[in-house]
Amino acid sequence: MAVNSLHLRLIDEQATVALGNTFAEAVMNQLKCGFVAYLYGDLGAGKTTLTRGFVQGLGHSGKVKSPTYTLVEPYEIGKWHAYHFDLYRLSDPEELEFMGIRDYFDEKACCFVEWPDRGKGVLPNADISISLQYCDEQREVELTAHTSKGRTLLAVLGER
Ligand code: ADP
Ligand code: MG
């Protein structure tokens, strides 16, 4: 039976980056198309760190900065498009309509969305939810698949 959720302990920042790297490998080798991931967790839980691991895993070698003020940071990496959203400062989901949100979510787009609740009603549904929590100095992560794409990703992550 396909697994719908996975729980992992991330002992340090490098482990969070490595999870993002593995995610990128799963997309390049198994999924081979875009997806939507919602990222949950308090400030400093590691949402941006995980996304950095992902875009670097796809082959991005430059900086990965948090799009707190710009709402979205786009990356074009070979044939892949990755979009890192941070909706923390979004006051109204309608702002997403004004920025042409629908154009971002195409077949090739790998989308990571921090604070997805702020875009409720406008954001497309998630294939996978990733919830990060403080656990002393470390972190715990719970990944939940909502679609067959999400289950494909989970299956690969669960093998590690
Ligand atoms: P968020 O985007 O959720 O606000 P960031 O990724 O910007 O969080 O920051 C996370 C902080 O926690 C960084 O300082 C990073 O070094 C640290 N960190 C990330 N993952 C871990 C981990 N598994 N264990 C301990 N510290 C971590
Ligand atoms: Mg962040």
Tell me: the pLDDT tens digits for 41-81? Answer: 999 999 999 999 999 999 999 999 999 888 999 999 999 99
| Chain CA centroid to CA 103, Å | 18
Which tens digit of pLDDT belongs to each residue from 70-106? 899 999 999 999 999 999 999 999 999 998 988 898 8
Which DSSP state fits 30?
Answer: I
Q: Which atom of ligand 1 is nearest to the CA of 86?
A: 2
Which residue has 């082959």 as its token pair?
59
Model pTM greater than 0.85? yes
Q: What is the pLDDT of residue 108?
A: 86
Range with lowest mean pLDDT among 53-57, 102-106, 123-127, 130-134: 102-106
H or E element that contains 157: helix 148-158
Q: Is 43 in the pocket of ligand 1 (CB under 6 A)?
A: yes
Residue 2 is predicted with a pLDDT of: 65
pLDDT-derived band at 6, boundaries 50, 70, 90: very high
E-strand stretches of 16-94: 35-40, 72-77, 80-86
Burial of 155 (0-12, 13-18, 19+ CB in 10 A): middle
DSSP per-residue letters across 54-113: HHHHTT--S-----TTTSEEEEEETTEEEEEEE-TT-S-THHHHHTTGGGT-STTEEEEE
Instruction: Measure the CA angle with vertex 151, ends 83 and 139; round to 5°.
Output: 65
Mention every residue, 6+ apart, whose C-beta is less than 8 A from residue 91.
none
Please determine, looking at this structure, whether the domain spanning 5-159 carries the CATH number 3.40.50.720.
Answer: no
Picking from 11, 4, 9, the residue whose alpha carbon sits closest to that of residue 137 is: 11
CB of 139 closer than 6 angstroms to any ligand 1 atom = yes
Which helix or strand (DSSP H or E) is residue 54 part of?
A: helix 47-57
Task: Work out the average pLDDT over 20-32.
Answer: 97
Distance from residue 114's CA to the centre of ligand 2 (Å): 7
Name the token pair of 154.
């989970």
Going from the Cα of 77 to the center of ligand 1, the distance in angstroms, rounded, reads 24
Domain range list for the chain: 5-159
Which position has the token pair 């992560």?
A: 141
Task: Kindly state the tokens that stand for 118.
Answer: 């702020």
> What's the confidence (pLDDT) of residue 131?
98
Query: To the nearest whole percent, how much of the chain has pLDDT over 90?
Result: 89
Ligand 1 contact, 12 CB (< 6 A): yes
